Structure 1
Amino acid sequence: MGQTAESLAALSANLTQAMTRANTAISTAFVEQSKEAAHWQPDPLGMQVALNDVWSHLASQPETLREAHANLWQRYADIWQKHAAYMLTGAAPDEGPIRDKRFKDPEWRSNPAFSMLRESYLATAEFITDLVNRTDGVDEATKRKATFYIKQAVDAASPSNFLMTNPAALRAMFQTGGESLLKGVENLAEDLKRGKGNLAISQTDINAYRVGENVATTPGKVVFRNRVFELLQYNPTTEKVHEVPLLIFPPWINKFYILDLQPKNSMIKWLTDKGHTVFLVSWVNPAADMAEVGFEDYLREGIYEAVEAVTKAAGVDRMNTVGYCVGGTLLAAGLAHMAKKNDKRIQSATFFASQADFKLAGELLVFSDEQGIKFLEDKMDQAGGVLDAQTMADTFNSLRSNDLVWNYVVDNYYIGKQPPPFDLLYWNADQTRMPKALHLFYLRAFYRDNALTEGKLKLLGETLSLKDVTIPIFMQSSKEDHIAPAASVYRSALSFGGPVEYIIAGSGHIAGVINHPAANKYQYWTNANLKGALEDWQAFAVEHPGSWWPHWDQWLSKISGPDVDARRPGDGELQPLGDAPGEYVKVRSSAS
């Protein structure tokens, strides 16, 4: 009993101390945020307006409401009946495998109280989201915004996100005598400090990696530099290489080394091992002095100057190209412009999770109406003319809040864990800034207006059409991509004027692309007949196990010419300016 009393006393003392520290940390954060009180807006994205529109239309659908409520109460009755029997007999119902990672702790099933709480929450969550989806008479954009907001609210309300209703967090608290909460508050305070009053959640140990030391380590040289990018040329690993080199345009929203994390998962190393001469654009991490640098500047100084630099460095007049995500959008626009100019130096293009047609661009459309764009414009003005890295990180995290937000709230702040080293999440935290002019043009011209595929986009004096692009195209999409949905990439594939090979890979926006063959993970689907809707394509698609990289390499190698002696950086007209990964990639944003 004495030991129990001492344990309870220690627990009480630690809880009191944790509450005091938490109040201090949150109060400090509030003071930091109050410095920008003039910029606060109660509903900058118009979420409440969208919800009010949905609720008002739903009120005129009494049959939908009655049916939904009847189904909910029937589910509640089934849940209560099942758990009453569970508590009487002690026999847990067989529910099959765990599919929701929020409830992976065994006690969500083995404890009747937690099991009932879990199932009641899931039933209620489905009821609320289904009501929004079934509402008639609401325009697509409004319903999309309301659905996004409801999902955020429903996910936040999960019992797994609260200390007193999370069995793993409660168990840690009692087992450690409250020490877990003390450590959690220290983690919270550190994240608030790093985010300067905003909660910049740690997803990995950011001190475990150094760019150029244990990530982004494939050997090469910087062979060209201007104000928007450095061009990397990687050392060959074979005696012979394909005649036609490969030029890669990654997204400027993130840093390029997602393609070169570590040797075991590096696409760059894999490509050099396959005999490709690889050039890669490393975009600058812009500061406020680049606020007015726009999309045309990135086209002129990014696409055109990179192509010119490769011709000099490799001594060629043609090349294959790759565009990833927004880098692919820029490349698509560049190809359409080059077609107008009869510039044939790019002989093929591969797109990783890239969109040219944005009609079905997914949840990010929520942020690209006039309210969303104005909100981001104000944020950029406050930051001196750039979109700060934390805003971008918060946006992407919100698209997968259960995995990228609430999971870490529980582990870091309730259980007091330190997130382990993970190269991909280190890269994810190493966000970049974006120039105001560039980002506003991108949102308005592509997400809002879908101008490229509708023939309304004018760049560098030319009105562009993707139907003018007749070179071979390879388009990769991912089945679970929430940023560039497979249906959106498919529509983009149909927009070009020449031969297109389209595939769907397993997993999402990152893992669907970065899937080294040695990992033996996931699968991909192919179908040479690119006609009709995506559902038609999928109905006759053939599934293949493992990575899609070898399939792509077969396509790429056939159009890459005969073998020639390996090229090393400096063999051509451009002399090395420094070692890969260069200097631009090492510039960290203050929020990362």
Structure 2
Amino acid sequence: MESFFKQLTLANQQWMQGWINAAKVPDAPAQPVTMLHDLIQHFSQNHGQWLEHHTNYYQEHLNLWLGLIGAKPAAEKPASEKGGDRRFKAPEWETPLFDYIKQNYLITSRWLVNLADSSHSDEATREKIAFFTRQFVDAISPANFALTNPEVLKLAVDTKGESLQEGMKKLLADMERGTITMTDESKFEVGGNLAITPGSVIFENELFQLIQYTPSTAKVYDRPLLVVPPCVNKYYIMDLQPENSMMRYIVEQGFTTFLVSWKSVTPELGNLQWDDYIERGVLEAGRVVREITAREKMNVLSFCIGGEIVTTSIPVMQARGLDWFESITLMTVMLDHTEPGDIKHCFDWNTVIQRETQVARGGVVSGKELARTFASLRANDLIWNYVVNNYLKGQTPPPFDLLYWNNDGANLALPMHTFFLRNMYLENNLTKPNSFSLCGVPIDLTKVDVPTYIFAAREDHIVPWQSAYRTTGIFSGPIRFVLGASGHIAGAINPVTSNKRNYWVNEALPEEAEAWLEGAESRPGSWWQDWSQWLGNRSGEQVAAPKKPGNAKYKVIEPAPGRYVKERI
């Protein structure tokens, strides 16, 4: 226990130091030295507001204490649980002592959040203050600690301490792995019950394997489809189990389908640039698909950062006279980073400038680091929920294929990732024609004129749908924009068979995203139906399905899903 509290103290010190230093931004427009300096400066000049904040805070605590000792009716408690807050739903939180602890926390957290929100600094700094304050508030919840969580204490008594003992074992095991266990991983195997849509690896280089899927229909569309997933995750989010596999659905619709399976970067590949993902990735895959199918053009489906790689490939292809793409689909892809959401607080100029000093030597950005960054955006759901259930209660989380995938990350090359952060996130260069070059070609996305299908998810915390919509104002070709319900993954991977959720369509493309939504029509079920119809109209005639994968030049290397996707970091 003494060691536990030492670790807690150290963690709190690190949180506070990060909160203080997070706004130090060299080589950026002038702003206060730190967020804490800015906040203190504001309240030192607004004594009345500072006094009001503190008076209300202390009054609420006084009311809470009077309620605990019976001097005030319990119904007059000054703070109550947020609707849907799963942390405090158990009846054990309703006993007087733990209700007091809970209410104390809610009062204090509300005070801290209001304090951060009331800063009169510039909007960017105020948002950063609020973000890290929420992170701190989530971390210090009484639900996260054994001695202040009545559910944990009751379970420990009921099991005679076995729950705490089992939780310690799980904590030590996860410390060795370097990641939090989110699901029962013993229930899943890539190539066993995940990523099992039949196919063959028919090409590979040091960067990717190319999978050609086995047709499941007697006839297929003449024009092939190339799928480019994100390189920051394993591709099988698009090919989980048969009932929720997007790849299986695509093949069943009669599309001649190829997929890029990116390799998780190893130290010897640590000098890879963004140019390599274009030259030795998208262009190489496109060349092989054309040679195998003997077709001039293909359709391309891309997901998340895979869409940015595909999109930046097009100006390079245009400069070389390579008219290979009949259409492209961007699935939860952000090209305009004007408002990237909360993730902007995790990547700043400090990060980029520090890493740029190491770019010449190369290196690897760990997939585990990237996974922790994304998890921090929903800390209560993706971090503290598992801390409580796994380590404090000693429970094994239930099997969930999506969370197994979520913990199976991929490494990126430091030069490629650093280039991405500077040019896409911080400088927003994809919206500025000819502001930078790739493969020796100035990048101008306003000249992208191929038919484009854009899908965004309404509750996406990684690619806000309004930011995805901004692509409609960049490209010059015909565009169809469709908005799905739910988030980044659940919105995109929405099987037709389950008939869940809904999606919105609107043939008009007004300048503002909200105006588009006001005029949109809601349709039940999966957006996959709308997309497959759109894609079918651009896929040529129906012809007899090929009997064998590859050709005389590109022979089968191994069955899908291939070696690359099975590598664990």
TM-score by length of 2: 0.89
Instruction: Pick the aligned partner of 1:111 from 95, 107, 116.
Output: 95
Q: Give 1:284's match in structure 2, choosing from 263, 280, 288.
A: 263
Q: How many residues align?
A: 551
User: Does 307-316 or 371-380 show the bigger shift?
Assistant: 371-380
2:277 equivalent to 1:298: yes
Counterpart selection for 2:556 from 540, 556, 576: 576
Aligned match of 1:52: 37
Question: Which range is displaced more, 73-82 or 429-438?
Answer: 73-82
Q: CA deviation at 1:340?
A: 3.5
- Structure 1 residues 394-437: Cα deviation after superposition (integer angstroms, max 9, x where no partner): 21111111111101110111101122322111111111111111
Which AA in structure 1 matches 2:21? G
Q: Which moved more, 1:353-362 or 1:66-75?
A: 66-75
Q: CA deviation at 1:555?
A: 1.4
Unaligned runs of 5+ in 2: 11-15, 24-33
- Structure 1: where are the runs of 5+ without partners? 1-18, 31-40
Aligned twin of 2:105? 121
What is the aligned partner in structure 2 of residue 35 from structure 1? none
**Structure 1 position 175 matched with structure 2 position 154:** no
Q: 1:553 to 1:136 in 2, by over 3 A?
A: same
Q: CA deviation at 1:252?
A: 0.7
**Shift of residue 116 of structure 1?**
4.4
Query: What does 1:123-522 align with in structure 2 at a 5 Å threshold?
Result: 123-140=107-124, 142-195=125-178, 200-374=179-353, 385-455=363-433, 456-522=435-501
SS at match of 1:476: strand
Q: 2:507 aligns with which of 520, 528, 540?
A: 528
Instruction: Pick closer, same or farther for the CA change 1:45–1:449 going to 2, 3 Å.
Output: farther
Structure 1 position 481, deviation (Å): 1.2
Does structure 2 conserve the Cα–Cα contact (< 8 Å) formed by 1:159 and 1:166? Answer: yes
Q: Secondary structure at the match of 2:481?
A: strand
Distance 1:228 1:408 in 2: 34
Deviation at 1:45, TM superposition (A): 9.1
CA deviation digits over 1:546-589, x for unaligned, max 9? Answer: 22111111211122122111135435453221110011111111
Residues 80, 92 of structure 1: alpha-carbon distance in 2 compared, 3 angstrom cutoff? closer
Cα deviations by residue, 1:457-510 (Å, 9 ceiling, x for unpaired)? 211122111110111111111122111111211122321111212222111111
State the Cα distance separating 1:90 from its structure 2 match.
9.8
User: For 1:416, what is the secondary structure of its paired residue?
Assistant: coil
Structure 1 pair 135–306 and aligned structure 2 pair: CA distance change class (3 A): same
- For 1:86 and 1:381, how far apart are their aligned partners in 2? 68
- Whole-angstrom CA distance in 1 between matches of 2:524 and 2:68: 41
Quick one: distance in 1 between partners of 2:20 and 2:50?
27
| TM-fit CA distance, 1:279 | 0.8
Identical-pair percentage: 37
2:431 partner SS: coil
- Contact 1:44–1:371 under 8 Å retained in 2: no
Report the secondary structure of 2:186's partner residue.
Answer: coil
Change (3 A) 1:207 1:107: same
- Structure 2 distance, partners of 1:85, 1:492, is 59
In 1, the alpha carbon distance for the partners of 2:254 and 2:508 equals 30
Classify 1:433/1:96 alpha carbon distance in 2 versus 1 (closer, same or farther; 3 Å).
closer
Distance 2:62 2:469 in 1: 44
* Paired position in structure 2 for 1:99: 84
| Equivalence for 2:13 | none
Cα distance in 2 between the residues matched to 1:77 and 1:577: 72
- Going from structure 1 to structure 2, the CA distance change for 1:153 and 1:246 (only over 3 Å counts) comes to same
Cα gap change, 1:546 to 1:125, in 2 (>3 Å): farther
CA distance in 1 between counterparts of 2:409 and 2:156 reads 34
Closer/same/farther in 2, CA of residues 157 and 563 from structure 1, 3 Å limit: same
Q: 1:201-230 CA deviation, whole Å, 9 max, x = no partner? A: 111223332211111111100111111111
Once residues 274 and 97 of structure 1 are traced to their aligned partners in structure 2, the CA distance between those partners, rounded to angstroms, is: 45
SS at match of 1:561: coil
Distance 2:227 2:127 in 1: 33
1:63 to partner: Cα distance: 5.2
Farther-moved stretch of structure 1 (301-310 vs 160-169) = 160-169
User: How far apart in 2 are the matches of 1:44 and 1:497?
Assistant: 42
Name the stretch that deviates more: 307-316 or 527-536: 527-536
Q: 1:315 to 1:72 in 2, by over 3 A?
A: farther
Q: Specify the alignment match of 1:7 in structure 2.
A: none
Which amino acid in 2 is paired with 1:128? L
Deviations 1:280-333 (A, max 9, x none): 100011111111110001110111111111111222111111111111111111
Tell me: CA distance 1:496–1:158, structure 2 relative to 1, closer, same or farther (3 Å). same
Return closer, same or farther for 1:260/1:24 CA change in 2, 3 Å cut-off.
same
For residues 539 and 73 of structure 1, the distance between their equivalents in structure 2, rounded to whole angstroms, comes to: 44
